[in-house]
């Protein structure tokens, strides 16, 4: 019946078409006024006016309830917010974990509609993963009452080094059976929509940019300190991928030439100094064999001196690494995610102090730091699944499976 103009435009190849630009701009932002859209797309507001009317008629965009939030920004006629029709477009984000699979279902207006996960036997194959995802997706649509036909694309957050351009995982301890395969092709067997994949850290950065602490930021450095260490570089609102898709891999940034050996074969990589194992091992000598990293982080926040020291030493290394990176990138903001953040200020403050000591620009105009470091808003796993959704909403797929 309804031919769903939204999907048609969203998946169109005609990148230059005004409708495409507007739909994509709204998919990225969630909502925006006509005048903002006209500025961001470069189209005249007269064009926007006509186009918005047309897209409203076609149920591609809607005017969401103005809500009660303080719209009193400036004077003048208030702008009417627009968003894509959440009934007409939905996206799925997937995190294939080592022993679980998590997904998120988000509508085109950035409404997070469903998040669920299922356990799965380790060392599962790609096809087993695809089946599990298909099952979860069906459940999610059933639970929300959304139409499966409105699916715009599937995003994948890959837990390991992944080449976004070639679509191939380079290596992975978590998903050994997913290496060197065309993962998109496997998903295409079950999903007739574009499948877009990127590494977990890049996804996490996108999640923070779309819903979290980096909302509206066009340039920032994202750092994820979790079991491993990863990151992402956002330039001009886009994820920097690099020649081999390895941009943002701050885990293998060398902090100390004589530091511990890293899995990559170098010495003193940030990851070698910060990975959970490097923290948990010495902690066990003091607190027994069963202590876990989150517990250490928690005890650090409560003030336990040994745990504070372990966390703050790691934070010092992190701050030093970030200072080196910022000497080259000089971003206006650093967003930090991963479960190190569970240690709270113990971790963040030590990192900021170390950063400020090692960053070569110390002149600060006002009170604050030259490069503020803020904690991300998303917990682990959520950042990945939601970021994978963001992948669908932001990245143009190379090929289209009509």
Partner DNA sequence: ATCATTTAGTTCTAGGGTGAACTATTAACG
Partner DNA sequence: CGTTAATAGTTCACCCTAGAACTAAATGAT
Q: Of these, 13, 45, 182, 260, which contacts DNA (CB under 7 A)?
A: 45
Nearest residue to 226 via CA among 387, 97, 341: 341
Binding positions for DNA, 194-223, rule CB under 7 A: none
CB of 297 to DNA, least distance (A): 44
Selection from 347, 339, 342 nearest residue 381 by Cα? 339
The string of DSSP codes covering 330-354 is --S-EEEESGGGGGTHHHHHHHHHH
Q: Considering the rule CB under 8 A, would residue 369 count as an interface residue with its own copies?
A: no
Write the DSSP symbol of residue 253. Answer: -
Q: Among 13, 53, 149, 330, indicate the residue that binds DNA (CB under 7 A).
A: 53
Q: Which stretch binds DNA (CB under 7 A): 36-44, 138-146, 254-262, 292-300?
A: 36-44
CA-closest candidate to residue 299, choices 346, 358, 261, 364: 346
Query: Exposed/middle/buried for 43, CB within 10 Å: 0-12, 13-18, 19+?
Result: middle
Residues of span 3-32 touching DNA by CB under 7 A: 14, 16-18
Examine residue 254 and tell whether it contacts its own copies (CB under 8 A): yes
Considering CB distances under 5 to 8 angstroms, the limit depending on partner class, which of DNA, its own copies, none binds residue 360?
Answer: its own copies
Does residue 346 contact residue 57 with C-beta atoms inside 8 Å? Answer: no
The correct pick among 1, 70, 328, 402 for binding its own copies (CB under 8 A) is: 328
Q: Determine if 78 is a binding residue for DNA (CB under 7 A).
A: yes
Nearest CA to 238 out of 396, 33, 92, 97 is that of 396
199 in Cβ contact with 163 (< 8 Å): no
> Minimum CB separation from its own copies for residue 231, in Å?
7
Residue ranges in contact with DNA by CB under 7 A: 14, 16-18, 33-35, 42-53, 72, 74-80
Residue ranges in contact with its own copies by CB under 8 A: 16, 42, 170, 219, 231, 233, 235, 240-257, 262, 264-266, 269, 320, 323-325, 327-332, 357-363, 370-371
């Amino acid at each position: 019946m309804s031919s769903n103009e939204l999907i048609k435009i969203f998946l169109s190849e005609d990148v230059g078409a005004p409708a495409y630009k507007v739909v994509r701009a709204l998919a990225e932002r969630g909502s925006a006024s006509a005048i903002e859209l006209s500025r961001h797309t470069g189209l005249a507001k007269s064009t926007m006016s006509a186009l918005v009317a047309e897209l409203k008629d076609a149920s591609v965009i809607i005017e969401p309830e103005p809500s009660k939030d303080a719209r009193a920004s400036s004077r003048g006629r208030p702008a009417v917010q627009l968003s894509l029709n959440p009934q007409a477009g939905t996206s799925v984000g997937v995190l294939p974990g080592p022993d679980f699979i998590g997904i998120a279902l988000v509508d085109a207006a950035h409404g997070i509609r469903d998040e669920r996960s299922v356990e799965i036997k380790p060392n599962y194959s790609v096809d087993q993963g695809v089946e599990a995802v298909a099952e979860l997706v069906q459940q999610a649509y059933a639970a929300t009452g959304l139409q499966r036909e409105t699916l715009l694309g599937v995003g994948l957050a890959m837990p390991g080094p992944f080449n976004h351009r070639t679509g191939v995982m380079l290596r992975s301890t978590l998903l050994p059976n997913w290496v060197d395969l065309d993962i998109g092709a496997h998903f295409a067997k079950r999903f007739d929509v574009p499948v877009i994949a990127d590494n977990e850290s890049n996804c996490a950065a996108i999640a923070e940019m779309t819903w979290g602490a980096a909302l509206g930021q066009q340039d920032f450095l994202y750092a994820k300190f979790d079991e491993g260490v990863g990151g992402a570089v956002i330039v001009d609102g886009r994820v920097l991928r690099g020649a081999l898709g390895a941009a943002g891999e701050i885990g293998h940034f060398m902090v100390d030439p004589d530091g511990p050996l890293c899995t990559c074969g170098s010495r003193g990589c940030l990851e070698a100094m910060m990975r959970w194992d490097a923290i948990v091992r010495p902690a066990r000598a003091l607190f027994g064999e069963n202590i876990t990293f989150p517990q250490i982080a928690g005890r650090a926040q409560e003030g336990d001196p040994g745990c504070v020291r372990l966390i703050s030493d790691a934070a010092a290394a992190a701050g030093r690494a970030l200072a080196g990176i910022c000497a080259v990138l000089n971003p206006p903001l650093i967003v930090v995610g991963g479960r190190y953040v569970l240690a709270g200020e113990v971790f963040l403050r030590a990192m900021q102090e170390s950063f400020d000591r090692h960053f070569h620009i110390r002149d600060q105009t006002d009170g604050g730091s030259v490069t503020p470091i803020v904690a991300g808003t998303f917990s682990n796993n959520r950042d990945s699944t939601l970021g994978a959704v963001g992948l669908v909403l932001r990245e143009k797929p190379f090929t289209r499976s009509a």
